[in-house]
Amino acid sequence: MANLKELKNRITSVTSTQKITKAMKMVAAAKLRHAEEAANAARPYAERMEGMMVSLAAGLEGREGPRLLQGNGSDQRHLLIVATGERGLCGGFNSSIAKAAAQKADRLIAEGKDVKILCVGKKGHDALKRRFKNQIIDMVDLSGSRKISFADAQPIATRALSMFDNDEFDVCTIFYAKFVSVLTQEVTAQQLIPASIPEKAEGEESEIDYDYEPEEEEILADLLPRNISVQVYKALLENSASEQGARMSAMDNATRNAGDMIEKLTLQYNRERQAAITSELIEIISGAEAL
């Protein structure tokens, strides 16, 4: 059984930890507001970009489109871009993304496919490097960026486009967490190359019929590379908001758990202290009676 000094040291230690987790929760809450605003601001642009590509793709009318839209006719080689955080202490945020990517990689490898993994963030790299050391081609470190910007996403998209032009993969998929709320972050796997264009429902007609100048193929050839950068940027913003939301929730739970532990340790300390006092009194009384 722990003595009084050990219990007091543990109470002091847990109290210090509680102060740290409470401070981290407040910092995450402040960062979350800015990250959520950025993610919400990027969604309409990404959605309109997707809508424009749907309209342009529908206007091709059976004509052959750019490789970024049609693909190269194969799905043997896959590039998985795994976007996670640079730091921990955010619950299951990083592990859930890495787990989804690992399951996808395992499934593709079991099917005889070639898999390459590009990690964006240290935590995803740390989680995957043990099992997929031979598949990981690089790790992008964004720890130096205080705030996610389009300049962070563009090199990632440029590298993916360069690899596709050099026939290093056939299909590219990015994994990230979509921000829903502080308590909910949805792990998302989005296909970037070939561009995933949602098909119109049967009988659905566009409200406005556009005439494009120049032709749709030329516009798509210029628009599709930009769309890759936009989608990567949106994924990084969603990830940033999700990470802060997960960290805020995790630190809130940690703060409450520390409070519960302090109460239990304080109760145990008081009981041990009372038992020690009672024992001393009994010894004094016994000694007085013996005299």
Query: pLDDT-based confidence at 12, cuts 50/70/90?
Result: very high
Active-site annotation holder among 42, 90, 142, 156: 90
**What is the DSSP secondary structure assignment for residue 279, as one 8-state letter?**
H
* Structure tokens, 141: 């470190």
Q: How far apart are the first and last CA of the chain?
A: 33
- pLDDT at 276 exceeding the cut of 90: no
Residue 159 DSSP SS3:
helix
Burial 222-255 (b: 16+ CB within 10 A, else e): ebbbebbbbbbbbbbbbbbbbbbbbbbbbbbebb
Query: pLDDT-based confidence at 209, cuts 50/70/90?
Result: low
Whether residue 35 contacts residue 241, with contact meaning beta carbons closer than 8 Å, is answered with yes
Whether residue 237 contacts residue 35, with contact meaning beta carbons closer than 8 Å, is answered with yes
Mean pLDDT, the chain, integer? 86
Tell me the whole-structure pTM to 2 decimals: 0.84
Is residue 90 part of the annotated active site? The answer reads yes
Query: pLDDT-based confidence at 283, cuts 50/70/90?
Result: confident
pLDDT digits (tens, 9 = 90+) for 62-97: 666 778 888 888 889 999 999 999 888 898 899 999
Q: What does the alpha-carbon distance between residue 136 and residue 62 come to, in Å, rounded to a whole number?
A: 37
Q: CA dihedral defined by 23, 88, 175, 137, rounded to 10 degrees? A: 140
Question: Which of the two residues, 9 and 290, has the higher pLDDT score?
Answer: 9
- pLDDT at 6 exceeding the cut of 80: yes
Domains of the chain by start residue, with CATH? 28-198+209-248 (3.40.1380.10)
pLDDT digits (tens, 9 = 90+) for 20-53: 999 999 999 999 998 999 988 888 888 888 777 7
Q: What does the alpha-carbon distance between residue 30 and residue 33 come to, in Å, rounded to a whole number?
A: 6
Residue 139 DSSP SS3:
strand
- pLDDT at 204 exceeding the cut of 80: no
